[in-house]
Amino acid sequence: MTVKISKKIVGYQVKDKSKAEEAPPAEAVKEDGGRAGRGKSADIIRMHEKLERPEGMECLEGATYKIRTPLDDHAMYVTINDIVLNAGTEHEQRRPFEIFINSKNMDHFQWIVALTRVMSAVFRKGGDVTFLCEELQAVFDPKGGYFKPGGRFVPSIVADIGAVVEVHLKRIGLLEPDELSEQQQLMLKEKRAELEARESGGAVVDASAPATADGEDYPASATLCHKCNTKALVLLDGCQTCLACGYSKCG
């Protein structure tokens, strides 16, 4: 940046770095409520694009998720590595730092590499990165999606990747888990048992029984829920109710 000096220079002064470090910055004083000068550091490290790996930490903690689709014989493996900011302080936070996707199928190699590089850049940029989950899961394949074990409908492979990112962000605390309460789960199990007993001609069905091997533990008459994309929407007490997420058209 070019600065135009309109006045005559009459003197100069060299800044002393040691003195500058002793004096707390104005931003640090504001964040610490004026306590920065009492010997407690108030500098909070936030995620930004110039943040690099900590020295001596060539490896980062992360998790690898497996995606298997009926469209391909080979599975995809999504690895998301995280970086821990402000470790050991009350401001400690775990943020995603990079993502890699690997598969034996090379048909999707180009767009997968492009997607992972863009997503990694967004992770390092900082700010709210949770929007990636919604944006990726809104991508539809013009050839049609597919159902996963458990009856959940996935509109595309990209949407499946977005679902994995959402699971990871919930795991590290950036997203709140949307789990049902114990009472809601118990009520849905009882309703499911009643419905299955009615469809099976009065046979008794154990509501606490585990899911089948393929994960499809919902009645065969269930339809697709537009909220959670799971084939678990049934008619209960005259109202369409989802046995997976608890959604009900009657409120």
Q: How does pLDDT run across 87-131, given as a tens digit for each residue? A: 788 888 889 999 999 999 888 899 999 999 999 999 998 889 999
Higher pLDDT, 113 or 23: 113
CB 217 within 8 A of CB 196: no
pLDDT at 137: 93
Beta 62-67 vs 93-103: how paired, if at all?
Answer: unpaired
Q: pLDDT confidence of 19, banded at 50, 70, 90?
A: low
Write down the pTM of the prediction.
0.63
Higher pLDDT, 210 or 163: 163
φ, ψ at 225 (rounded to 5°):
-85, 130
Considering only 18-22, 61-65, 97-101, which range has the smallest mean pLDDT?
18-22
Q: Please report the pLDDT score of residue 123 as a whole number.
A: 93
